[in-house]
A = this chain, B = another copy of it.
Amino acid sequence: TVNGVKLWEDILETARFGGTPKGGIRRLALTEEDRQVRDWFVRACEALGCTVSHDSMGNQFARRPGTEETLPPITMGSHLDTQPTGGKFDGIVGVLGGLAVLRTLHETGRETRHPIELINWTNEEGSRFAPAMLSSGVFAGVFTEQEALDTKDREGVRFGDALEGIGYRGVEVCGAHPVAAYFELHIEQGPILEVEHKTIGIVTGVQGMRWYEVTLTGRDSHAGSTPMRMRADALVTAARLIDAVQTIALEHGPDAVGTVGLIENRPNSRNVVPGDVFFAVDFRDPDDSIVQKMEEAFYAQASELAEAAGLTLEIARVWDTPAVQFDPECIASVARAADALGYPARRIVSGAGHDATYMAQVAPTAMIFVPCAGGLSHNEEESAEPDDVTAGANVLLRAVLETDMR
């Protein structure tokens, strides 16, 4: 088993890179804070005898040699970037849990046939650079490296320039790395495990998800002297569409979700009727056909409302990740590990996207969930119990070792 105390110390120690007064983390991808935690990752992995490299997307790989070095590595991983007001566990538990696994192997002198690698994926959150899981996506061939490097944040900074800026653009071509299997430990980010008093979620797959960018263009005008009938108010129609996203999700069954998380209003001045609004929509459901139906309902309402208001409408689907089923063997390894360790467990579908979503396209993959308080994530108050985090890392260790012996 892993050293749970050291794992918890690592969580608290790295939480200072981008730590916020409210106890959360603001460590957006490819910022100075991201660089700091990457440097820490290199030192921590090297101290355990690993060799650390990074590829052309900045993904970091810490490698512990196997006895059969021609075998592809069994990999573990997640991400160290966070939301603007993120917590201390989302992604971090998977990377530092993997580090705890490496530590146990190192300290017990345990030999494995396969090399074991721990991966820190770049820009998983999709908050600074959309979409999410951008670099595991390039790794899996879902996005080209060029389109990823050319992705811009909302201030217009190129991903490629930001990556060079923190000194983490490597020479190894992203995706040129063989992988025998991939395991990702993560907090659930939802309420189910906690409510059902389960320590381990045996993740069988990830639901389907799509992102959209919507721009409504009307006409800036004076809030005091422009009669209501002469306005082309982009914000009023955006508001009705934000309401529509909510209603559409509620009308499409118990699992469907729909969210507007990002909105930019221009010129954003109290006495100016807004002429230009940009916002982003997120629809998800375990059933891709329901995501498709929500998209159709949204497109129809957007066209209708924009036309009625005399606005120009642009909609683009900027991300489409169909539902994913993980590898039955890897899922079984996770289930057996939880069982052998005596942890209460249940099968679960992930509501959040993870790097495992894309890794499943190129290697046998599964995930391990542990509970988080109130199912709360993407929140500075995100919280998890040390014992649960340790349990997850123990399951990870055992699933990796079982896979190595297969």
Contacts and interface: CB of A to CB of B under 8 A. Distances in A.
Interface string A72-99: 0000000000011100000000000000
A376 to B, nearest CB: 6
Nearest to A250: B228
Contacts of A267: 83-85, 378
Interface of A: 83-85, 125-127, 130, 132, 188-191, 207, 209, 211, 219-228, 230, 233, 235-236, 238-240, 242-243, 246, 249-250, 254-263, 265-275, 280, 282, 284, 350-353, 375-380
A225 B189 contact: yes
A259 B126 CA distance: 32
Contacts of A83: 267, 269, 271-272
23 contacts: A84-B267, A85-B267, A125-B269, A126-B271, A127-B270, A189-B224, A189-B226, A190-B227, A191-B227, A211-B270, A221-B376, A221-B377, A224-B351, A236-B243, A239-B239, A239-B242, A259-B271, A261-B269, A261-B270, A261-B272, A262-B269, A262-B270, A270-B282
A273 B261 contact: yes
A284 B268 CA distance: 19
B246 A242 contact: no
Contacts of A380: 220
A256 B229 CA distance: 11
A92 to B, nearest CB: 15
A254 B228 CA distance: 8
B376 A219 contact: yes
A285 to B, nearest CB: 10
A208 B9 CA distance: 60
Given A262-B269, A269-B84, A271-B127, A246 B228 contact: yes
B261 A271 contact: yes
Contact of A243 (B189, B243, B280, B284): B243
Contact of A240 (B132, B239, B270, B274): B239
A340 to B, nearest CB: 28
Contact of A227 (B225, B233, B257, B379): B257
A375 B230 contact: yes
Contacts of A250: 228
A243 B84 CA distance: 28
Contacts of A266: 85
A87 to B, nearest CB: 10
B284 A224 contact: yes
A282 B275 contact: no
Contacts of A239: 238-240, 242-243, 260
A222 B270 contact: no
B263 A268 contact: yes
B219 A379 contact: yes
